Amino acid sequence: AQTIHQWPVAEIKAVGSPLSLGCTIKGKSSPNLYWYWQATGGTLQQLFYSITVGQVESVVQLNLSASRPKDDQFILSTEKLLLSHSGFYLCAWSPGQNQAPLFGEGTRLSVL
Amino acid sequence: GDSVTQTEGQVTVSESKSLIINCTYSATSIGYPNLFWYVRYPGEGLQLLLKVITAGQKGSSRGFEATYNKEATSFHLQKASVQESDSAVYYCALSGGADRLTFGKGTQLIIQP
């Protein structure tokens, strides 16, 4: 069975500090991978997606970047956090295009 | 771009009563989007509840049903008799072109005993 693991579960960070969030998928080779973000009271928005190692497409510009260094790993990062980056970050995977993504547990980020 | 509009905020239903959460969509990126309902139970992650990929078809899971109505561009979620364990936040979503999933804002369902 496929599993998806996100880390950390929660973060409290200062404005201007760097951030790195991670996601690992086990039990599925070459999954499509996604990052989503939900501001408090807001809508879940897709930030990035990747269909293969080393290739990442940006969907929404939020001064964040994503990388896929390995087939089963997806990293979300920034060198300088903004207050507006606070929210809930979800990693997801799917077996192919337009298949229903399956989500990790999420990371709650508070930027102070 | 694509958009999803669903019943906003909170919906309160008495246990054993029927439920409908409205969802309408606009898909500009693709003619026949795939449609989904996701659910987040308290303290848990976002889970797929049901999906329908063909217009006119109905999806069902855990007593919930939703029919893909292309003419009305709707995908309403219904249940004949809700239980306390159905308390959760429900999200309608569509899968458009470029492998993009667009969500509604979510509807919090509260079940009154």
Contacting residues for B91 by C-beta, under 8 A, at least 6 apart = A44, B6, B37, B38, B39, B40, B46, B103, B104, B106, B107
Per-residue pLDDT at A13: 97
Give the best residue of A4, A9, A98, A99 to mutate against chain B (max B CB count within 10 A): A98
- What are the phi and psi torsion angles at A18 (to 5°)? -80, 165
- Residue whose tokens read 């009563």: B17
Per-residue pLDDT at B32: 84
Q: What is the pLDDT of residues A35-75, one digit of tens each?
A: 999 998 889 999 999 999 999 999 887 899 999 999 999 99
User: What is the average pLDDT score of chain A?
Assistant: 93
Contact across the interface for B102 and A46, Cβ inside 8 Å: yes
Q: What is the pLDDT of residues B54-65, one digit of tens each?
A: 999 999 999 999
Per-residue pLDDT at A60: 86
Per-residue pLDDT at B97: 64
Contacting residues for B87 by C-beta, under 8 A, at least 6 apart = B41, B42, B109, B110, B111
d(CA B96, CA B1): 9
Q: What is the pLDDT of residues B97-111, one digit of tens each?
A: 657 889 999 999 999
- How would residue A100 be classed by pLDDT, with cut points 50, 70 and 90? confident
The shortest C-alpha distance from B1 to chain A (Å) reads 12
Per-residue pLDDT at A92: 94
Residues of B in contact with A104 (CB under 8 A): 45
Nearest CA in chain A to B36: A100
Per-residue pLDDT at B98: 59
Nearest CA in chain A to B106: A43
Average pLDDT over residues B87-93: 97
Give the best residue of B101, B102, B105 to mutate against chain A (max A CB count within 10 A): B101
Residue A83, both tokens: 């207050």
Residue positions counted in chain A: 112
Average pLDDT over residues B29-51: 91
Per-residue pLDDT at A98: 66
Residue among B34, B48, B91 whose CB faces A102 most closely: B48
Contact across the interface for A101 and B105, Cβ inside 8 Å: no
The 10 Å Cβ neighbour count of residue A111 is 18
Q: Is the predicted pLDDT of residue B92 greater than 70, yes or no?
A: yes
Interface of A with B (CB under 8 A): 32, 34, 36, 42-46, 49, 51, 57, 59, 90, 97-98, 100-106
d(CA A44, CA B94): 12
Q: Is the predicted pLDDT of residue A2 greater than 90, yes or no?
A: no
User: What is the average pLDDT score of chain B?
Assistant: 93
The 10 Å Cβ neighbour count of residue A108 is 15
In 3-state terms, what secondary structure has residue B99? helix
